Chain A
Amino acid sequence: MAKDVLTGIHFLSGNYACVEGAIAGGCRFYAGYPITPSNEIAERMSVRMPQVGGIYIQMEDELGSMAALVGASWAGAKSMSATSGPGFSLMQENVGLAAMMEAPCVIVNVMRGSPSTGLPTAVGQADVMQARWGSHGDYEIIALSPSSPQECFDFTIKAFNLAERWRVPAIVLMDEVVGHMWERVIIPPKEDIKLVFRKKPSKPKEEFFPFKADKDLVPEMPIAGEGYRFHVTGLTHNTKGYPDTTEKAQAPLVRRLVDKIRKNAEVILDIEEYYTEDAEVILVSYGISYRVCQYVLSKARSDGLKVGVVKLNTIWPFPERRIQELAKQIKAFVVVEINLGQIVFEVERVSYGRCKTILVPHAGGYIHDPEDIYKAIKKVSSRK
């Protein structure tokens, strides 16, 4: 039998590393539908999942895959699917179901050129806003963006832990370049990987309210088959879980679903900063674009430009407080993303006009030309 944690030094693609991260993170249920450029995830899952006694099922479409993930979660599984833009669009209704039912699950979106069928084999980063607002209604999710195969491994484990802790769907926003590039991945010993499981009911069955939250705004979660005889619905519901389709029930429920993440954002989000202490211009980026920014950063610093970079490991929740702080110290943010403007709007919004916000866009199909980023930095540096 194969082990679930392949401790050792590997050379893996981002997609393959993501699978190892999922299994090391405790995933034992995968339901998905093939779509480029995520196919390698499904393929490796179909081999590895049975090796650890888990379930790999290739559902008939992405709608069924997402529904199966929510069902599996309620039976106690750490469940996952992988897709790309067109499939991610199909999954949105049940992402909303997962958010409403507060069912932990992980969705990997290996972003490609878009919109619509777009560029199946080439990179894009234009699903960022969709990850946040894709399903109808007010709700919050957590999204992470790896920039290397090692991070695909690490962040997938993290996605499972965050999903379980906060009872939300967690999205791993990879992009085609990171998914298909191969790099060294170090998988640590099993005992070094800390895993989180959802809060279990602590009250006797008769007194247990499935949607009564603790102070952290997260309720304890029962599992089907253990005698709690609970009811869960996608309709607006009360703390007992029963449908309560009134204005009176709507506000506290939806408010809590949203505050669960917004009020706990500081402990959820994860960003890295380099050379920001004395920076006049700060690059903001994620995924493969972050690495292109690092390339430009070295060149710019050696040319005497005071540039720093913020790496968004979590894209959602967005690091509002830190960006707001940095905005007071600098001339401009330069946001680098492979789309025509998505995260730039968040940067601009929370800067409250205290500094400029410049976008270096790219419609998709390839990574940025470092020259374009460098030119943008130079241009805004030379202004007063």
Chain B
Amino acid sequence: MEVAKKHPLEALIRKERMPHILCTGCGVGTTMANMIEAFVEGKFDLDKITLVSGIGCSGRVAGYLKLDGFHTTHGRPIAFATGLKLTNPDLDVVVFSGDGDLAAIGGNHLIHAARRNIDIKVICINNFTYGMTGGQLGPTTPTGTWSSTSVYGNYEVPFNLPYLLCACGASYVARWTSAHAHHIKNSILEAMHHKGFSFIEIISACPVYWGRKNKLRTGKDMVKFFLEHTEIKRHPEPEKALIQMGTPILCGVFVNREQPDYLEMMKAQLSKKLGIPEFRGDGKVALSEEEKKPVPETRLPLRAHPPAKQGEAAWGTSGQVKPPKKIRPTQIKVAGLGGQGLGLLGLIMGRTASIFEGYNAVYTQEYGPEARGGASSSGLVISSDAINMPYTTEPDNLVIMAQGALRKYRKDIRKDSTIFIDKDLVKPKDIPSSVKIYAIPATRTAEKLGRAVVANIVMLGFFTALTPYFSVENVEKAVRMSVPRGTEEFNLKAFKAGYEYGIGQRA
């Protein structure tokens, strides 16, 4: 018989890094060899296989194989692998790590990646210990057994990893021992062909620490023990997979089902709505230049005013739009309750001022933790010069839509301020007589028009009529840009109602 001169898998091993650090009998080596056998047998594109490992003896595997490999930080290979896979879905991403790295410090990433069914394959060498650091206990150390930090016997209950992973929603979960080399290879092949989160636990006692101290002194003893104390079932029940001394180790494929992976879920929810066929992080999704579909409506300000054409006021990235007239820094404070639409009011005023009138404008908001009903205020500073101090600490104008807001911001009113109130909601109390007060039944007017929600726009019209800052034309442009599509005309009606009421109040 001819003795082979080369190792059959030599092409995949970094010869210059041999010998490896793994001990005689350690299942990491067995699993590593079976893994690359599976890669070759399955005829996968080896350039596309990406190995990610964590910290520990099993973490060294990525460095021994001639594949794109990443030796990352403790507990993080699954999160790292998520970044790789979602950026380039054509990669076959395999995480090779140990029980402590994946289930203790990395536990959070394990359960969430399983829940999300991220299409990565996770090979977990469970040797019941933290081998590289000297044999300390871990989340899978069986009760009653020795470790360097449980010398009297472990008084914790370990994870039942197959049960945990099934509960989290993983779509492929299997367990074997390092004595079942053939099964390991086949399981890895199955996982590589599976679309979705795949978890393979390989039981392999650390021969130097846990194994040696728990009566499995050599690799041979360990393999014998595994072969005698394993129960392989065709449909093993995950809840029965807890490892306890004295009971057989339950092995097999616990779950293997078809389930859309993370990217398929994304496509199902988003592709039709957005007209985008796929999602990936490497920027290789071609975007068409023209807008085929209108952007789905959200509450975010996404619309912009088209930039100046040749000949119009020049602009650049530092924003030099020429203001139409000189205006000293003017502070406008808007206050009321959360839910009265004051945020939108400030946005419209800010757009009017900075985009259409050409002033410099700074808008800030202040609110409490309540989603509705808490006191909320916002401030707009406008000026033809650069604005440096952003807040409205000495407002020239205040728009007040709730009594509580008046109480809260009364101290900010200056003797030469002008205030605008909702007649029905605010009773002006304890306000200096030098302060000019304008009142409008904004909410009632809005209700009469059909919807109380436009009270803020009614107030906007009122304010525009009684102050010299904004032209009607510019405010209307800002309103059109800011309200939900389809409601422009209704909002402009509300604006007009407030404006005309204001004209009637001009002294």
Contacts and interface: CB of A to CB of B under 8 A. Distances in A.
Given A47-B300, A64-B109, A182-B347, A230 B79 contact: no
B292 A63 contact: no
A267 interface: no
Interface residues of B, number: 89
A269 B69 CA distance: 34
A117 B275 CA distance: 41
Contacts of B318: 150, 186
Interface stretch (A72-80, A250-258, A333-341, A343-351): A72-80
Interface string B279-298: 11111011111011101001
A365 B312 CA distance: 42
A68 B293 CA distance: 32
B300 A186 contact: no
B496 interface: no
Contacts of B81: 71
A29 B109 contact: no
Interface stretch (A213-221, A291-299, A353-361): A291-299
20 contacts: A7-B306, A28-B285, A53-B278, A53-B279, A55-B87, A59-B79, A67-B109, A71-B81, A71-B82, A71-B83, A74-B83, A75-B87, A76-B282, A97-B72, A181-B363, A183-B361, A224-B68, A231-B63, A231-B69, A294-B386
A55 B280 contact: yes
Contact of A52 (B90, B287, B298, B306): B287
A74 to B, nearest CB: 6
Which of A75, A154, A177 lies at the interface centre, i.e. has the most chain B CB atoms within 10 A of its CB?
A75
Interface string B384-405: 0010111100000000000000
Nearest to B355: A9
Which of A31, A43, A63 lies at the interface centre, i.e. has the most chain B CB atoms within 10 A of its CB?
A63
Contacts of A233: 62-63, 70-71
Interface string A219-262: 00010111111111111000000110000000000000000000
Contact of A53 (B82, B276, B360): B276
Interface in A290-323: 291-292, 294-295
A259 B350 CA distance: 46
B376 interface: no
B373 interface: no
B153 interface: no
A185 interface: yes
Which of A12, A60, A228, A370 lies at the interface centre, i.e. has the most chain B CB atoms within 10 A of its CB?
A60
Contacts of A227: 47
B411 interface: no
Given A75-B84, A180-B364, A183-B363, 5 more contacts: A64-B76, A182-B346, A183-B361, A234-B71, A370-B389
B270 A67 contact: no
Nearest to A54: B281
Interface in B331-379: 346-347, 350-351, 354-355, 360-365
B268 interface: no
Given A54-B279, A294-B388, A225 B82 contact: no
B82 A232 contact: no
B287 A71 contact: no
A75 B306 contact: no
A9 B300 contact: no
Contacts of A187: 304
Given A150-B317, A184-B354, A229 B86 contact: no
A47 B395 CA distance: 35
A184 B321 contact: yes
A26 interface: yes
A11 B388 contact: no
A118 interface: no
A78 B276 contact: no
A275 to B, nearest CB: 14
B266 to A, nearest CB: 7
A1 B281 contact: no
A325 interface: no
B302 interface: yes
B108 interface: yes
Contact of B287 (A53, A185, A228, A230): A53
Contacts of B275: 1
A234 B81 CA distance: 15
A224 B281 CA distance: 13
Interface in B31-70: 46-48, 50, 52, 62-63, 66-70
A323 B78 CA distance: 45
A228 B46 CA distance: 11
A181 B282 contact: no
Nearest to A76: B282
Contacts of B389: 291-292, 295, 367, 370
B151 to A, nearest CB: 30
Contacts of A222: 68
B86 A55 contact: yes
A242 B67 CA distance: 13
B155 interface: no
B134 interface: no
Contacts of A243: 63, 71
B305 interface: yes
Contacts of B111: 60
A153 B388 CA distance: 18
B315 interface: yes
Contact of A231 (B71, B108, B350): B71
B80 interface: yes
A295 B388 contact: yes
Contacts of B306: 7-9
